[in-house]
Amino acid sequence: MSRTPPPLHIKICGLTRASDVEVAVAAGADMIGLNFVPGSSRRIDVALARTLVRAARGRVEVVGVVADLDSLEVQALLTDVGLDRVQLHGDERPEVLGALGPRAFKALRVGSAEDVALAAQYGGDLLLVDARVPGKQGGTGVRVDPSLVVELARVRRLLLAGGLDPDNVAEAVRGVRPWGVDVASGVESAPGIKDERKVRVFVDEARRAAQEAADAADGASGA
């Protein structure tokens, strides 16, 4: 008999519509992401963010995605919008993360072992990894090389992002065994517009793979 696996946490990022909050909640997502990064096609303003937070409150955790703000600006956004957490997706120094405490986590863009080594500089209970693409801060649709992060996933709560979609998320979950997965463009019909079927299939495939990985581990330990 297989044991219940540790829960896989699923974040649907880059929401821009209240209807997509409903889609994410109905599909069984654990977190949604609201983008405040200038230049992003999924960026929203504070007024819309407050509306989406009200729609999500008590149903799913709301994460704000920011880049290169100082700690006072991030704290103000957390309070003003009513976010649960904030994701630092720029080139923030470890001191900024430390000043914000447990409601913040770092997103690390990785394309080499040297990038992965930077994880040791950032504390906290959660770390997101995304693919490094020159000139881009995320939402690129480019996948992270699993060989770069599989060991990191064994020692950190790792939220795996980068090029995930309903067709490849199961493979990524089995290969990396992350704490969670994060998707934006992979479940969209257009930037910021979520596709209900893609969101549902993504969540189902991710959870199925997590269960299969747990069953395989149980079988190996009992052999």
According to DSSP, the β-strands at 85-88 and 104-110 are parallel
Backbone conformation region of residue 14, classed left if phi is above 0, alpha if psi is from -120 to 50, else beta: left
Active-site residue (options: 68, 84, 125, 130): 130
Q: Which residues pair with 205 in a beta bridge?
A: none
Residue 130 annotated to the active site: yes
Given the structure tokens 């801060």, which residue do they identify?
137
Angle, CA of 92, 160 and 19, to the nearest 5°: 95
- Residue 94: what residue type? P
What DSSP designation does 180 have? Answer: E
> Is the sign of the CA dihedral 11, 163, 172, 200 positive or negative?
positive
Active-site residue (options: 13, 20, 165, 182): 13
**Catalytic residue numbers?**
13, 130
